[in-house]
Amino acid sequence: MQLIALTGGIAAGKSTVGRRLAELGASRIDADQLAREVVEPGTPGLRAIRERFGAEVIRADGALDRAALGARVFGDAAALADLNAIVHPAVRELAERRIAEAAAADPEAIVVYEIPLLVETGGRAASTVPWDLVVVADAPAALRIDRLVELRGLERAEAERRIGSQAGDAERRAIADVVIDTSGTEQETLDQVDALWARLRGSGEEAARPRRGEEPISG
């Protein structure tokens, strides 16, 4: 089995890269989806959030009111740290379980874990997962701001704030084995992903690990 971490800033095209790898045959795990699962009604995660932040962050149907919770932690570093202390360990545990399930189903599987905050949570050194490869979806901040405004309807100031709150592009590139340049057309991005997949499938784990002196793949 090969374990691939896929990361990148908001609106950098991670989902496009992840979907393509899944289409090609990878087992895809999405950290954002796991984060939703661990706070579903009836979970220990949701109970812990209710205890910490109160019933006002729970909707009438028993589900998490994400907008209300977001308002509680916005600009409050201590509250955000408490929320992360609840959610992050639960996500790690669930991710490890999904990775084990993928390995049991296919020992030769290529597992892609889409994890937006890999750098923000300590990068490779802090991860409990032994990554074979770290892939970064990369596009200039200005282009990502435009995407948030044009495709997601955010106000420009809000788009700038969200991007500014994340790790910088240089920090993500510093941990990358592979950089997928998503600043061009979608087809240009997919062509890079296809080339990466051919490399992974063609030579297995040893090809996934950059050799000394080898430059990371980039678009």
Do 162 and 218 fall into the same domain? yes
User: Average pLDDT, stretch 29-45?
Assistant: 95
**Residue 194 clears pLDDT 90, i.e. is over it:** yes
pLDDT tens, position by position, 133-154? 999 999 999 999 999 999 899 9
Q: Which of 119-133, 162-176, 191-205 has the highest mean pLDDT?
A: 162-176
Report the number of distinct structural domains present in the chain.
Answer: 2
Three-state secondary structure of the chain? CEEEEEEECCCCCHHHHHHHHHHHCCEEEEHHHHHHHCCCCCCHHHHHHHHHHCHHHECCCCCECHHHHHHHHCCCHHHHHHHHHHHHHHHHHHHHHHHHHHHHHCCCCEEEEECCCCCCCCHHHHCCCCCCEEEEEECCHHHHHHHHHHHHCCCHHHHHHHHHCCCCHHHHHHCCCEEEECCCCHHHHHHHHHHHHHHHHHHCHHHHCCCCCCCCECC
Mean pLDDT of the chain: 89
pLDDT tens, position by position, 85-135? 999 899 989 999 999 999 999 999 999 999 988 998 887 777 777 899 999
Do 91 and 139 fall into the same domain? no
- 31 found inside a domain: no
pTM of the model: 0.83
Domain range spanning residue 142?
1-26+109-219
Give the pLDDT score at 203. Answer: 54
Do 63 and 85 fall into the same domain? yes
